[in-house]
A and B are shown apart, each in its own frame.
Chain A
């Protein structure tokens, strides 16, 4: 992909950051509005597609570190799993924090709705990582097809056919 004109790059440089802010807002209010981890995460992940479309593939690949998004995904998934396990011994996914707090919050650091908002945040992390990786991998495979580049050290089926 070629970079677009200077107007597009400037505008996307400014507004892409607001997408992140808006996405984080949607994630954080997920427990009481029709948003949540997935929706907010998808909004945050549009940041990468903004960058890709505006600045073109070459600079995009130079900026993006796939490992970091993989880590984000891993952290989100593990956090989600652990918050689910907080429900034991009642049941998996039981909202034990909210029940323990009852009518009065135990601490101002604990969210009043319990694990729901924590899980929203975990899902948000996961979706940001995963959707950014989807954009990255799909672009890499288009590039692979366009430039005829190899599969980057991949040991696939054809190389072992006898």
Chain B
């Protein structure tokens, strides 16, 4: 019974990787095509989140329980906590970069009076 459910749910497991791929492609497309700095910043945050989603998905194992000794329940099998640590670290880094990027956008708007990336072109040659 459980095996057949697992088989039926298999496509769902793969579907989540497809979602990751779609999110990555959408984020990259937005970064390339959009001209507004804020939209680019949002797309970068989406890119970071999709990579985090990918890492979380990798942490899933069939029949594994949470890797905390006194909360793991009946099963003996615990998942490896590495991907969860990776995700937490990546989230912290993403937060730091997003905050810094928004601060830079504020400064750019102060200096240039615009958020259009085509008009921010003093460095060339």
Chain A residues close to B by CB (< 8 Å): 32-34, 36, 38, 42, 134, 137-138, 141-142, 144-145
Contact of A32 among B71, B88, B91, B106 (CB under 8 A): B71
Contact of B106 among A34, A38, A134, A142 (CB under 8 A): A142
* Distance in angstroms between the alpha carbons of A137 and B106 in the assembled complex: 11
> What is the total number of residues of chain B having a CB less than 8 Å from a CB of chain A?
15
- Interface contacts beyond A32-B68, A145-B106, A145-B110: sample of 9 additional A-B pairs, CB < 8 Å, sorted by A: A32-B70, A32-B71, A36-B88, A38-B88, A137-B103, A141-B107, A142-B106, A144-B110, A145-B109
Interface of A is mostly: helix
Contact, CB under 8 Å: A141 / B106:
yes
Q: CB-nearest residue of chain A relative to B103?
A: A138
Can you give 15 contacting A-B residue pairs, CB < 8 Å? A32-B68, A32-B71, A34-B84, A38-B91, A38-B92, A42-B95, A134-B99, A137-B103, A138-B106, A141-B103, A141-B107, A142-B106, A145-B106, A145-B109, A145-B110
Contacts of B88 in A (CB 8 A): 36, 38
Q: CB-nearest residue of chain A relative to B111?
A: A145
